[in-house]
Amino acid sequence: MSTASSSSQPLTFPPVPVSSTLAHQSLRLLELPPELLDEVETQIKNPSKRRKLWLKSSVDIAPSTLAQGQRLLQKGFSGGGTTSVRDAEGKEGFLHLCTDDKIWAVKQVSTSNSVYITQTSDSSHGPRANDKGRDEGGDGDTSMAGVDEDGDEATLAKAAGSSTRGGGITTRAQVRNVLELIKVEPDEREIERRVHELTPLYHDVDDDVDPLDRSRMGSGTRSNGAEGVSPRNVLDNIPAPTRLIRDVMRKSCVFQLPQPTAPKGEEDKKMVYLPTPTLLLRRWKDFLQQCTISGVKLEKNDHVLRGNSLRAVLDGLVETEESDVGRALALNVTLAILRRLTDEVADDGRDPHTCDDPSLLDMDLSSPDSISEDQLVNTKLKFNPSLSRDVVGQWLLSSYARKRSLVPNSSADPSPAQGGLVLRVDEFISEWRHLLPDSWAMNCDMAGPVSASVDGVSVARDDQGVQVLRFASPSSGVAGSLAKDAQAQSQSQKKRKWHEKFGAQRTAPAVKR
């Protein structure tokens, strides 16, 4: 049997045999926008120790939807190209691809064409395969099928013969859905809301004992038990760029503590907590006092705190605590405050914000054992006096707002008879100044903390013409239905509102900066 070639011209490029490999691999196609392509190619050439690309689901925290995003990925890969994957839109949460700085929503788009992923292969055709092919001829005219098969073989043999290279290409997967990426602009307020939802609030006994809160003296709770949340949990459950989540945690003064229930043999697992403004103020006072004791002056050296001084202050703070929990708390909350109020000064041209090396202020290094001596000594932290002043003022204002919200039966318009609930502006400013080094306190002004507050704090004049701070009561406007609320519901509502107030106040400094 002879098959003359219909092409009379010599081929300048040898033919490439094409075959199909059954038992397809599970492969997916993901389109790469230019920024992501740059990041991927950089990662390929210079692999980084830190893992940078993440796929996260944006499902709500409801238990029934927790595994949907995971199932989407599972379904996408379990059966290879032959499995049809349900579209991610609709009931299911969106999948997001997150890098350090950017985030995309992942969308599945069906391909109407047949899309094959091919791979180079050694295309060898043994006689057994040929026999199998011949056996299939039973479905039709036997002699004609046989002729076709022989023809194919001859064609392939001819192609192989004329090729100066070995092998060909074979299909490894058929793709029916392509993953497209839609750029999403992260919403910092939404990220902050999620961080505050996920991170438990730390209550310690001292925090709940308060002159204005005597009725709840016996009901303080610790939330660092089985409900602990790890830093990884927070990062995993918020579809946002990694750096932005970390920045929100830093601005909220999120801190870590070792889990107390961990067995001694195991490595300590770190849990993250949100501090109360009262806790922050107490730690800040202790820090300033320890600076005085250690002879450290924050106002000198262009507000730079050097490693040696920092070491002395931290050691002093830890020594004053009697328990392991107290020592861990003192160290970690203080470090969280320093993360919030300072920037790390770069040495030798090293930029702390972009290099991958861990920095002292990285949250993962907040236990004494993990801070190396060289790293601590070489650290330089530069305080921002105006930022520090405003942040401390906000903590103080939030502390008063929290006390007001925890007092039962509070009214929107306190009368002079309730002198303890009225706060004069000059008294507030005086207390605020005492929380700051002298040179930082010169420009204390109510505009900063009040404008940063979104929970109804305003400056007004009382009957004698004295400026006072007026706090809107959480229950104002619903006084008629207040009596109907159950105690637990009322407490839960107040706590939730406070949580939102506290979180919202921390956004403003970033806007100002």
Interface with other proteins in residues 396-455 (CB under 8 A): none
How do 95-98 and 168-184 pair as beta strands? unpaired
SS3 letters across 351-382 = CCCCCCCCCCCCHHHCCHHHCCHHHHHCCEEE
Structure tokens at 445: 């002004």
| Least distance from other proteins to the Cβ atom of residue 240, Å | 11
Does 47 engage in binding with other proteins (CB under 8 A)? Answer: yes
Q: Given the structure tokens 């991610």, which residue do they identify?
A: 88
Return the number of the residue (6 or 323) whose C-beta is nearest other proteins: 6
Q: What is the C-alpha to C-alpha distance for residues 478 and 468, in angstroms, rounded to an integer? A: 24
| Least distance from other proteins to the Cβ atom of residue 244, Å | 15
Does 97 engage in binding with other proteins (CB under 8 A)? Answer: yes
Return the number of the residue (9 or 323) whose C-beta is nearest other proteins: 9
Q: Which stretch binds other proteins (CB under 8 A): 114-122, 206-214, 416-424, 450-458?
A: 114-122
Q: What is the C-alpha to C-alpha distance for residues 335 and 343, in angstroms, rounded to an integer? A: 12
Q: Which stretch binds other proteins (CB under 8 A): 149-157, 328-336, 359-367, 420-428?
A: 149-157
Among 92, 100, 107, 167, binds other proteins (CB under 8 A): 167
What φ, ψ does residue 168 adopt, rounded to 5°?
-155, -150
Among 92, 134, 137, 156, binds other proteins (CB under 8 A): 156
Does 43 engage in binding with other proteins (CB under 8 A)? Answer: yes
Q: What is the C-alpha to C-alpha distance for residues 138 and 32, in angstroms, rounded to an integer? A: 47
Return the number of the residue (31 or 210) whose C-beta is nearest other proteins: 31
Return the number of the residue (135 or 315) whose C-beta is nearest other proteins: 135
Does 172 engage in binding with other proteins (CB under 8 A)? Answer: yes
Does 229 engage in binding with other proteins (CB under 8 A)? Answer: no
Q: How far is CA 39 from CA 25, 29, 65, 128, in A?
A: 26, 17, 31, 47
* Interacting residues of 115 by C-beta distance below 8 A, sequence separation 6+: 29, 174, 175, 176, 178
Q: Given the structure tokens 């956004």, which residue do they identify?
A: 507
- Which residues in 419-438 are b (16+ Cβ under 10 Å) and which e? eebbbebeebbeebbebbbe
Return the number of the residue (132 or 512) whose C-beta is nearest other proteins: 132
Return the number of the residue (84 or 308) whose C-beta is nearest other proteins: 84
Among 35, 37, 189, 426, binds other proteins (CB under 8 A): 37
Does 3 engage in binding with other proteins (CB under 8 A)? Answer: yes
What φ, ψ does residue 175 adopt, rounded to 5°?
-105, 125
Among 35, 53, 350, 466, binds other proteins (CB under 8 A): 53
Q: Which of residues 235-254 bind other proteins (CB under 8 A)?
A: 235-237
Q: What one-letter code names the amino acid at 101?
A: D
Among 137, 170, 412, 433, binds other proteins (CB under 8 A): 170
Does 55 engage in binding with other proteins (CB under 8 A)? Answer: yes
Q: What is the C-alpha to C-alpha distance for residues 353 and 331, in angstroms, rounded to an integer? A: 23
| Least distance from other proteins to the Cβ atom of residue 275, Å | 26
Does 20 engage in binding with other proteins (CB under 8 A)? Answer: yes
Among 105, 115, 304, 412, binds other proteins (CB under 8 A): 115
Return the number of the residue (234 or 274) whose C-beta is nearest other proteins: 234
| Least distance from other proteins to the Cβ atom of residue 427, Å | 48
Q: How far is CA 174 from CA 19, 73, 75, 79, in A?
A: 13, 17, 15, 11
Return the number of the residue (33 or 220) whose C-beta is nearest other proteins: 33
Among 35, 67, 183, 221, binds other proteins (CB under 8 A): 67
Structure tokens at 139: 């479905």
Does 1 engage in binding with other proteins (CB under 8 A)? Answer: no
Q: Which of 49, 35, 55, 44 is nearest to 101 (CA)?
A: 35
Return the number of the residue (71 or 327) whose C-beta is nearest other proteins: 71
Among 140, 151, 416, 420, binds other proteins (CB under 8 A): 151
Return the number of the residue (74 or 443) whose C-beta is nearest other proteins: 74
By three-state DSSP, how is residue 399 classified? helix
Dihedral, 470, 473, 477, 481 alpha carbons, nearest 10 = -150
Does 49 engage in binding with other proteins (CB under 8 A)? Answer: no
In what order do the strands lie in the sheet containing 380-383? 304-306, 380-383, 342-344
How many residues at the interface with other proteins, by CB under 8 A? Answer: 91
